[in-house]
Chains A and B, each alone.
Chain A
């Protein structure tokens, strides 16, 4: 069963190479930007560079760590954005491509149930893509730190002191991993819906998946004057109950007092996360139930629909 799932997941990575290629390309681009950015700045105005290094040297370890943390968050958010797009297109294609090219007849000739197959695709969407994204983030962080470190050393400053010893690796990476794994769980109803559309749509799964999400809330508003669907689709999506005392959108704009983590003593991400609030929130579990229903429907469609 485990071995079977492992090879099924591998199969998905063979077929949907964008799962590996996309993070790799972003990692490459960010690394290149780090190199060219440093080179360009040095070429045009070495004084700016020296002033920056001087400024960094004068910062206390807490502020320096916070600055590096923000840089790391910036890079991670690029990957997180790409991850959502990737997951969207992957889930839409996962059960559609095999019908389009008729290879489903081959896949169903192999001793493997429809549930196992569909679950392997759900696993890729919810677990495998986030983990691969995380790996790409860590590599990119290290490459950017290395490039910056070399550049700092060339200018005669101490990279170990300025960068390597102060970068908040564990805090940033653990927090990022938690967020990357939590987001797909929170958005699971959409993942399930996309998988179902992918199994169900005769053509253009993209439109079939997206149009109801846009049109149904409008219909509801027009017919009943209520906004329940809009709340469920959009407001819920934007409000992941994972961040202590603030909402996702507030992360960088919050000005109120008493936000944990952002204090004089330091800037850390982990204290911002509230896992128990996330895991205990009814919204999460309701979403997972909806995801389960859509996934079962996808399995049902794959099993019972006659493709002749």
Chain B
């Protein structure tokens, strides 16, 4: 297992694969996630996102070489869990537990948990300490879980659809709190979500995964250079197609063409240029590859 420079590379995956029978849930994937980044892992349902996260968290065994903070996640799960925290899906907090029991449990078992901090965060919410989890609304359960996660001084935070099923107010609040209270530039976040628009402007990196393979991995800063979207119509659209757009769609009777690796100077005379939104780029990459 590669133990080198765990300080700058938080997750190092080399040829990671995971098969379920004949299905390749994750198919020969290699990537690095560096410290201090907020990486969005984006893919359609069944693309292998959750399997990949589970491998990173040591919840499932995988082939290839995977190192998280220098640990082999499956074999050193306990050690790893001291350094990272995760919210896997929503509503996995045990429903029978009371809030104060949960705090006492984690305080005893987790060396990096600050109960004081968790209580401070909870005091801002309507979560009562003697309430059972089953008595809380979905939004409050997420607030509780997030308060605990933020109160753990973890080097890597993994979020798997953390805001699924929440209303918009809680979703916004979730990410605001995450950025204000947790992220400090030293910590690393790996997040998957369907609601890409909501996290687009907080990501520093993005990774698209489809059918178990990574179809795009880039820093957000690099996207404008690599990808451009042209909105145009008629003859100009015809001309633009000569630059081999990776995807084309219709918006209000106009054509929107997405290009990869085509300089903006070639296109700017043909219509309006802009950097594609992550969601649009995602559709372009996934559907464009399929077409």
Contact = CB atoms under 8 A, between A and B. Distances in A.
Contacts of A113: 77-78
Size band of the interface chain B makes with A: 20 to 34
A50 interface: no
Given A308-B50, A308-B51, A14 B86 contact: no
Contacts of A265: none
A14 B97 contact: yes
Interface in A135-177: none
A33 B239 CA distance: 95
Contacts of A109: 57, 81, 85-88
What is the predominant secondary structure among interface residues of chain B facing chain A?
Answer: mixed
A131 to B, nearest CB: 21
A111 B86 contact: no
Contacts of B109: 4, 7-8, 110-112
A239 interface: no
Contacts of B95: 101, 103
A98 interface: yes
Contacts, number: 72
B101 interface: yes
B252 interface: no
Interface string A98-139: 100111111111111100000000000000000000000000
Given A4-B108, A304-B61, A111 B78 contact: yes
Given A4-B109, A308-B51, A106 B93 contact: yes
A15 interface: yes
B106 interface: yes
B108 A3 contact: yes
Nearest to A6: B108
A11 interface: yes
Interface string B59-88: 111000000000000000111011001111
A109 B77 CA distance: 9
Interface in B129-162: none
Contact of A101 (B78, B85, B94): B94
B169 interface: no
A102 B60 contact: no
Interface residues of A, number: 26
A306 interface: yes
B24 interface: no
Given A4-B108, A14-B101, A108-B59, A308 B54 contact: yes
Contacts of B111: 111
Contacts of A101: 94-95
A79 B20 CA distance: 48
Contact of B82 (A7, A104, A111): A111
Contact of B92 (A14, A15, A105, A304): A105
A109 B106 CA distance: 11
Nearest to A307: B59
Nearest to A306: B60
Interface in A2-19: 3-4, 6-8, 10-11, 14-15
Interface in B79-133: 79, 81-82, 85-89, 91-98, 101, 104-106, 108-111
18 contacts: A6-B108, A8-B109, A14-B98, A101-B94, A103-B94, A104-B92, A106-B88, A106-B92, A108-B77, A109-B87, A110-B81, A111-B82, A111-B110, A112-B109, A113-B77, A304-B61, A306-B54, A308-B51
Given A102-B89, A103-B94, 15 more contacts: A7-B109, A11-B105, A14-B96, A14-B98, A101-B94, A104-B92, A105-B89, A108-B77, A109-B85, A110-B106, A110-B109, A111-B79, A111-B81, A111-B109, A111-B111
Interface of A: 3-4, 6-8, 10-11, 14-15, 98, 101-113, 304, 306, 308
Q: Which 5 A-B pairs have the closest CB atoms?
A: A103-B94, A111-B81, A7-B108, A105-B92, A111-B82
